[in-house]
Amino acid sequence: MERLTLSKTKRSVKGTIELTGSKSIANRALIIRALCNDEFPIHRMASANDTERMQALLKSNEEIRDTGPAGTTFRFLTAYLSLQKETQILTGTERMKKRPIGLLVDALKSLGADIKYIESEGYPPLKIGAPKEELGANNKVSIPADTSSQYISALLMIAPTLPLGLELTLVGEIVSRPYLEMTLNMMKYFGINYHWNEQTVIIPHQDYQAKPFTVEADWSAASYYYAMAAFADDLDLQLNGLFEESVQGDAVLSEMMNHFGVNTTFNEQGLRLTKSSQPSKTLFEKDFLYCPDLAQTLAVICAGTGVPGKFTGLQTLRIKETDRIHALQTELNKVGVNFFEDPNDANYFMVEGKVSYENIPSFATYEDHRMAMAMAPLAMFNPIKIEEPDVVGKSYPDFWIDLEKLDFKIE
């Protein structure tokens, strides 16, 4: 599907949504299961394309393994395959070939991995051979703390399987601590002991313990419904599958949405959204360093409600599926809203204006699932078009189907 038109006649959001499982959690669980000596069941598996691809590639006997556009899958498999005895080619889409992998490769090579670049130095695709006999003989590795948390998580998950474990030092400011805590909490669930002291994580050699696991729903996916809740005149929405005690950094969403008059009540199935007040017209200010995947949605929420926003901690947004800062600037400008760098401080980005448009805007999605889903709630004001809507398959294939359950019209 090249484009869809999305509309909604009433600004009423009532119903129940069964949220898809978190692909971040599911992909970690799949890698841990692959590293475990025994099988175990994973319940509420994410239906995301990325997760299905991870499952297929872990089972594959092919020499060439293609991760497509799945960054998490590529990075986790780079570390996992570096432990295997067979030579593998790991590749992906043209966009994936432009996403750096050098820091992770350097760290793995320092542990004894045999990895070579096939095309451009520092970028996919990779040729991953059987590890050298002394793999893990050097068990001390340093990596910049402001790099992708997926590099660090990839190293953490293989750490217990290394002969001497791993002593991983994070150099500089740690930008994605909640994602690292998610990884370590999941490893702890499967019996792994670790010690995190300031900038160093020490994980001794030990075995993962197999036990059944349930994947929590995705808080990032929930954010799009919180946006609809913020725009709604009439609201009573149940989102199933979320935990009040969550390992996801994006769980801060429920608290930050109080600013926009959205109230969250947890229950046995998940949570219920109701309207507690009208959105505050005062400045919404947030550091997204620990929850960067929420930034696009909150920028759209500010735009839709007319609440001015001041965002920081967006360092990693330029190296995601697309340059998300540029994408937000371009697409919000189509509906009369400015998203711009603070002229007095380049660390801050401002959202100014309120959504207004006469002709139906057509939003580009840049091969980025989050751009498609973040812009979708704007259809509550007037019809919009979404280009390449199938991109949501990366993390939430049923997104458009679920919107129809809330009386959105899709053409």
**CATH code, domain with 224:** 3.65.10.10
- pLDDT given for residue 321 in this prediction: 63
Q: Which domain holds residue 278?
A: 3-21+216-410
> CA dihedral in degrees (326, 329, 334, 336; nearest 10)?
-170
| 287 catalytic per annotation | no
Which residue among the candidates 293, 323, 398, 407 is catalytic per the annotation?
A: 293
Domain-located, residue 209: no
**One-character DSSP codes across 182-227:** HHHHHHHHTT---EEETTEEEE-S-------EEPPBPHHHHHHHHH
In-domain check, residue 210:
no
**In the numeric block, which tokens belong to residue 335?**
């509906």
CA distance 29 to 32: 5
Report yes or no on 87 lying in a domain.
Answer: yes
Nearest alpha-carbon partner for 300 in 260, 332, 256: 332
One domain for residues 277 and 374: yes
Q: What is the pLDDT of residue 148?
A: 86
**235 and 359, same structural domain?**
yes
Q: Are 161 and 292 in a shared domain?
A: no
Segments of the chain scoring below 70 in pLDDT: 1, 133-136, 316-321
Q: How many domains does the chain have?
A: 2
Whether residues 70 and 171 fall in one domain: yes
Query: Does one domain contain both 377 and 288?
Result: yes
